[in-house]
Structure 1
């Protein structure tokens, strides 16, 4: 299926109301969010799990939502990570997912942040069902398995999208993996939309400028394919509001879409389809297209 950037634009709007008021967003009202979507096996079925990191001047929180099988209901858990609540940075909660106990463990006491709401090192968040870690975030994996006294998942969770809202004047940074088996990449969008020169924009990955757009006032929407670790990645952008709206009233949108992997032969097995012949307890309710990762970056210019 072909990827349609404008369709993605319509369905991938920011998950929360970034504007606390109807006034233009400022440093005081900006609410940075990172939303990650995963597919993992819980209670015998492949389900969507949404992880939302949220931060503003007053609050810092982590929310985890598990979809029902029909997808019309969320089983959720919210964790407040306020700096004056040190005790809340390590903890345990449980949620009931259609009669199944799902346990959530976290340790963010030493977590490192780079300005955004999502940590990048020295932490873990683990979802456990029947002594199996069905979703594990962070790099403290050994500590997570030791504390939960659980085994790794038989079928690993797959991240299929990431949406991030970044607020800045000229430079917008994020991180993402375009392939689960490869390293995470540093992505930076920089712009020069004020001054005597024509507006320009640069998009760099791992410190290398891969896209440069001059005369941005005429090319505020576009797309280009770049190579990242020898893998084609489609990059779409729409920065109309940067040029023709007041600061803080609209965002630029950047979509990074790696090329879809080749379909494996029918003889291969990913361990996620229903198989009554071997007594498997796993049943797929989603198509394999969920493994096609996509990054949405919402870049808000503020003064």
Structure 2
């Protein structure tokens, strides 16, 4: 049995007068990375949005492979971004980025806004990508009639807690609250407050796969807590959990704060590799075609890294 799945000490706990100079690197980084399938410059593209928040900073990095990568500060404590709205032109591509986070609402200190915001990308004046619930605010000023469809392919999030880790996901168009509980060597998965799966004896079942149903939709669930089991005494490592709906998995390359965060565990790369390979188990070779930007997305993947806060 695992001696308390989460009974490990908090990494980098300040214990000296050097607290002020080290605190920024010690506080948990809430990082959410989402990958969308869209059209940019008349070509199908993977667009990656990485939201990052700590006690001292809040930012959004928007990147499209071989096209651009831009970071926007969302820290309302600074004078320049007090209104948290604006635009930026990417001259060599004739792209323009528009955003408004003035009244954005966030849930439980999440780095990603829940409502009252918009993020848009236009090419030669034509709207290519739109995210948020304020299209009625954006469209009159930019002469846009239609809001393009936004297809979310994958979401990767770093969650923090002691015994409970909570995230939100959209499966087949419906929002759900996902909660993972771990205590005394027992793993539990709740969806909207209802227990859907219980795994006992994690010391022997540290890696596995099960199917669960959410509103009649089959969801493949993978877990890997080998890092917890192997480091139960010194408290290093993290758990990883994958929820897969339909075909196709897209894990974009880690950037910025997320990449730094993963360096805390030497097993980070192997865990991610396992998640990628396991999500294709039992599927036909043709299902992997959704990795191509030119194909139509037919699935969604949620990847959670669980850290002790």
Q: TM-score range by the shorter chain?
A: 0.7 to 0.9
CA distance in 2 between partners of 1:159 and 1:287 (Å): 15
Alpha-carbon distance in structure 2 between the residues aligned to 1:86 and 1:123: 19
Task: Indicate yes or no: 2:203 matched with 1:188.
Answer: no
Q: Mark the CA change 1:25 to 1:207 in structure 2 (over 3 Å): closer, same or farther.
A: farther
Closer/same/farther in 2, CA of residues 260 and 184 from structure 1, 3 Å limit: same
Q: Over residues 59-80 of structure 1, what are the superposed CA-to-partner deviations in whole Å (9 max), with x where a residue is unaligned?
A: 1111111223xxxxx5122111
- How many residues align structurally? 244
Mapped contact 1:132–1:151 kept (Cα < 8 A) = no
Matched, 1:227 2:213: yes
Q: Which residue of 2 aligns with 1:168?
A: 161
Rate the CA distance shift 1:130–1:111 in 2: closer, same or farther, 3 A.
Answer: farther
2:42 maps to what in 1?
44
Alpha carbons of structure 1 residues 243 and 146: separation in structure 2 relative to 1, 3 Å: farther
Structure 1 residue 153 displacement after superposition: 4.7
TM-aligned CA deviation for residue 213 of structure 1: 0.9
Q: Which has the higher contact order (CA 8 A, sep 6+)?
A: 2
Root mean square deviation of aligned Cα = 2.4
Aligned residues of 1:131 and 1:151 also touching (Cα < 8 A): no
- State the 1:162 CA deviation: 0.6
Displacement of 1:157 after TM fit? Answer: 2.8
For residues 211 and 91 of structure 2, what CA distance do their matches in structure 1 show?
A: 41
Greater helix share, structure number: 2
Deviations 1:223-249 (A, max 9, x none): 111111111000000012223315662
Q: For residue 51 of structure 2, what is the aligned residue in structure 1?
A: 53
Sort the Cα spacing of 1:233 and 1:136 in 2 relative to 1 into closer, same or farther, 3 A: same
State how far apart, in whole Å, the 2-side matches of 1:148 and 1:200 are: 53
**What pairs up with 1:1-303 in 2 under 5 angstroms?**
24=11, 28-68=26-66, 74-85=67-78, 88=81, 89-96=83-90, 99-153=93-147, 156-179=149-172, 182-193=173-184, 199-246=185-232, 249-260=236-247, 286-288=293-295, 290-302=297-309
Gaps of 5+ in 1: 1-22, 69-73, 194-198, 262-284
CA distance in 2, matches of 1:122, 1:173: 22
Q: Answer yes or no: is the 8 Å Cα contact 1:192–1:201 preserved in 2.
A: yes
Question: What is the CA distance between 1:257 and its match in structure 2?
Answer: 0.3
The structural deviation recorded for 1:253 is: 0.6
* Residue in 2 that maps onto 1:14: none
